[in-house]
Amino acid sequence: MEQRMQMNVVNPQGYQAMLGLEQYLHASTIDKKLLELIKIRASQINGCAFCLEMHTKDARKIGETEQRIYLLSAWREAPYYTPQERSVLALTEAITVITDNHVPDDVYQEAAEHYSQKELADIIMAIITINAWNRIAISTLMMPV
């Protein structure tokens, strides 16, 4: 397959706006490993090979374990994630596949029990941002390198 377009070249202003969201998230108080777990899980659901390659590498660079990366798609059955992480992974799934059941109250409330409103707002922004990146990568056929 050949990449359809380079979004950063064809639409540099739009691409810069997306990078602005990414910069905001990296400056936020979200734990960096949790941020990468969000990105990996949403990318698994969306089937974004480009983002999966990028974020699994990024996660390893900051010390995330192979075991937790490999078992992320089965996080409910794996004992390696904290209750806080589980609440965010459930929220990530609900927002990523929002047409299935929107975001159920119990999923939102579970995350809200572990994080302040500001932290939760940042987490939601992180989920929304990776979903946007996935859609850019998939629609333009960005390939892992």
> Domain spans of the chain?
12-139
Nearest in space to 126 (alpha carbons), one of 28, 55, 7, 3: 28
Domain over 12-139 is classified CATH 3.90.1300.10: no
Q: 84, 31 in Cβ contact below 8 A?
A: no
Residue 33 has pLDDT above 90, yes or no: yes
Rounded CA-CA distance 39/87 in Å is 15
Over pLDDT 90: what percentage of the chain?
A: 97
**What would the mean pLDDT of 97-117 be, rounded to a whole number?**
97
pTM above 0.85, yes or no: yes
Distance of CA 140 to CAs 20, 31, 84, 133, 137, Å?
Answer: 20, 30, 34, 11, 5
Q: At what angle do helices 49-61 and 117-139 cross, to 10 degrees?
A: 130
